[in-house]
């Protein structure tokens, strides 16, 4: 199933804790998160919960590492 980034942020993150949309777009473009661009709109693929958990864990870890360097 495809989900818009904005909906993904609301569904899987506590308000104010989700990475910005630009981060998700970059991860999709780099192949780090499964997703598609349809008509210029980015969607995240959320079919497999195990894979989703892994992708989210990796993304959150990477974001936290970058914030700790600031």
CA torsion 63-59-56-39 (nearest 10°) is 110
> How does pLDDT run across 15-67, given as a tens digit for each residue?
999 999 999 999 999 999 999 999 999 999 987 655 556 666 777 777 777 76
pTM, 2 dp: 0.66
- What beta strand segments (E) does the chain contain? 2-4, 35-38, 41-45
Q: Residue 34, by phi and psi: left (phi above 0), alpha (psi -120 to 50) or beta? A: beta
Strands across the sheet containing 41-45: 2-4, 41-45, 35-38
pLDDT for residue 36: 96
d(CA 30, CA 37): 13
């Amino acid at each position: 199933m495809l989900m818009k980034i904005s909906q993904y942020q609301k569904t899987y993150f506590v308000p104010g804790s989700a990475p910005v949309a630009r981060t998700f777009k970059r991860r999709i473009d780099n192949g780090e998160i499964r997703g598609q661009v349809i008509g210029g709109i980015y969607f995240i693929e959320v079919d497999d919960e195990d894979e989703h958990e892994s992708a989210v864990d990796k993304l959150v870890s990477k974001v936290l590492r970058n914030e700790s360097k600031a």
